[in-house]
Each structure stands twice: as C-alpha cells, then as structure tokens.
Amino acid sequence: MVCNCDEAEPGTFKDHMLLENKPHLILEGMLLGAYGIKSNHAFIYIRGEFKAGYEIFTQALAQARAAGMVGKNIFGTGYDLEVTVQRGAGAYICGEETGLLNSLEGKRGEPRLKPPFPAIAGLYGMPTVVNNVETLAYLVPVLQKGWEWFAAVGTERSKGYKIVSVSGHVQKPGNYEIPLGTTVREIIEIAGGLRPGRTFAAVQPGGGSSACIFDEHLDWPYDYESMSKAGSMLGSGAFVVFDDTTDFVKAAYNLIRFFAHESCGQCTPCREGGHWLEKVLHRFVQGRGLPGDMEMLLRVSSSITGLNLCALGDSIEPFLKSVLVRFPDRFEARVQGRQVAGVR
C-alpha cells in the first residue's frame, strides 16, 4: 500500500494542506486501507519540498506507533503493519504512480510501461495499491458515517465530496470542500468571486494538465462527466480562474515550460515536443512569433498526445490547444511584424 503525497500539479494544494494540518487523518486512512487489502507494509511518498509536512507526519507516525496502532500484532489482532515515510527530492513525474514506485525503489523516477499495472506488479514486483492522500483521508469519515453519507451528495454518477483547490483571479483563493456537481459559477462565488471590475475569461478545472473551459460552461456542474463532456477533465481538482486581464500566451508558455522541465526524458515525443513548444512559445511571448507558428504549435502538440509511457506527454496539449483555438487573436498579435497596439 502506497500513499501518494507527491503533489505538484500546477494549481493543486490540497495534499499540502492535509499533510500539514491533518496528518493523523491521512495516517488513519493508510492504516485502514492497508488493513483492507491485508498489506503488511505501507509507504507514504511525500514531495521533497514538503519538509515541514514530512516532519509533522513523522511525528504523527511516532504517536501512532506509541499508541500501538503501527507495528507488530496491532491491538492483539495478530495483524502486523509497518509504515515507512519516504521523501521525494524534486521531480513532478514521481507523482505518476509507476514513477513513484521506481523512485521508492531508489531509482530514477521514470514511469514504467503499463501493463502490468501496480495492482498486479508494483513495488518490488509485488501487487501494490497506490492511492492519493485525499482518497485515503476520506476513507475515515466514510467508514465512520457510512457510504450512504458520502453518496448522499453529488450527482447520479459522480457521488460525494471533493476538495477543490481554487486559485488565480478570485478574491478568496483556497481549498474548498464541495459536493460534486456544484456549478462552476458557484465555485467561483464560493471563492469570493472575481475582483471588482473584472470579467470572466476561463477556468482550468483540473490542474495544469487540463483544457480550459469558458463562459458557456459557467453553469455546468463540476463533476467528472460534465468536465469530460466540456472537453476537459476534473483531474486533480485544481481550479484556476482567469479573468479578462490574463495574458493567455504567457500562461500557455508557463505551463508548457513546466511540462518541458518536468519531462523525465524517456519518450521522445514528450521530451523533444515539450522542449520545442517551449521554444516556439517563448518567441510568441517576446512578440517574435513566425508566420505558420500557430499551426505548428497545434501540429506538434497533437503529435505528442497518446505516444508516451505516461500521462505527462498527454498533458502538454490540452491547455495550449484550448486557449489557442479560443483566443487565436492573442497569439496572432504576437506574430512578428503584426503587433497590435494595446496588447501587452
């Protein structure tokens, strides 16, 4: 059993909050999860940057050990469970479950070819369940209050609660626990709404890897099915709001640079594609785009998707494509010799 606390998806900060404020909840979820699958060794892989979180969790683990909840013959049941806390060292790709397992084995955090999936052959080739912090944290209230409590909210197909990390151009960014199916507009309102005088431009509803959704989706429910139907995804639950002041060319460059930087380099389309997109977008940022570049951005990004071992490569296209198709004029204005007055 492995708990994935290598949170690094741009816009996501729920695990960071849970780790520093609710370490016991995560640990209890891990213990219950491990007991559920009869695992005798549970790991939590904590992002290297979360030094304080690591220390807090280690302390919580020591308390649990002292209370007899971890170790040999827990509460006289004959069940043994060891818990090991592992620190990462700065690599987004280790949040990919097989990259995480390789890193946990002391290797480069390069994702593995799947299948076999971790549930068949994971850590040290053993069947391994890898779950996110939020999933395991919810295990505790669900077991206490019953599944009926959890399933009582949400939509027909997306049931329960979700922690949404709202950031960007809202007045009160933060983590909000909402029933799935809350509308996009409601989430923006919960987070304090837009700043006075600003108008809505877009939302990236599922972290850096997801495509933007726009005005026409404001009253759509925020759930797995609707976000997928809107051409995006719910992803990590990171909800980044953009108002009318947003420079979408810079935003696209920012995210592409992220993926190019974090590509592990195993798969050529992702390694080279992300890198070249970054270079081309950098030209746009400087107002030096070339004729034909916009088509090239679309062509190169679409030829990365689906050709990689893991989802990082597939994460490169969605945001770029969504804003390029929606706001071609913003990019057009940055093609060399076509600067339009007033465009920053």
Partner 1 sequence: MSDRVRNFPLLAAELMPQCEALAAQYEERRSALLPLMHLFQSREGFVSPEAMRFAAGFLDLTPAVVESTVSFYTLFYRKPVGRYVLQVCRGLSCTLGGAEDVMAAFREKLGIGNLQTTDDGLFSYEEVECLASCDRPTCMQVNLEFLYDLTPQTVDGVLAAIRGGTSGVAPLPQTERPGKTWAVRQDTEVSEGEKMPGDTGVPDPNNAGGLGDRTGLIALDRIVNDDAALLGRSRERTVRDASAIDAVIREEDRAHAGH
> What residues between 162 and 221 interact with partner 1 by CB under 8 A?
165-169, 173-175, 208
Q: Sort strands 82-87 and 130-132 into parallel, antiparallel or unpaired.
A: unpaired
Kindly state the tokens that stand for 311: 């989802």
Q: C-beta of 48: minimal distance to partner 1 in Å? A: 5
Q: C-beta of 218: minimal distance to partner 1 in Å? A: 19
Cα gap 244→94, rounded to integer Å: 35
Question: 175 in helix, strand or coil?
Answer: strand
**Between 29 and 53, CB nearer to partner 1:** 53
242 in contact with partner 1 (CB under 8 A): yes
Single out the residue of 178, 262, 312, 327 in contact with partner 1 (rule: CB under 8 A): 262
**Between 88 and 154, CB nearer to partner 1:** 88
CA-wise closest residue to 177 among 192, 189, 167, 187: 187
Cα gap 253→136, rounded to integer Å: 34
Single out the residue of 24, 32, 48, 231 in contact with partner 1 (rule: CB under 8 A): 48
Contacts by 104-112 with C-beta closer than 8 Å and gap 24+? 104/2, 104/43, 104/45, 108/264, 109/264, 110/264, 110/266, 111/264, 111/266, 111/309, 111/310, 111/312, 112/309
Site track for partner 1 across 109-148, x = CB under 8 A: xx------------xx------------------------
Single out the residue of 181, 273, 289, 318 in contact with partner 1 (rule: CB under 8 A): 273
Q: C-beta of 100: minimal distance to partner 1 in Å? A: 12
Q: C-beta of 296: minimal distance to partner 1 in Å? A: 7
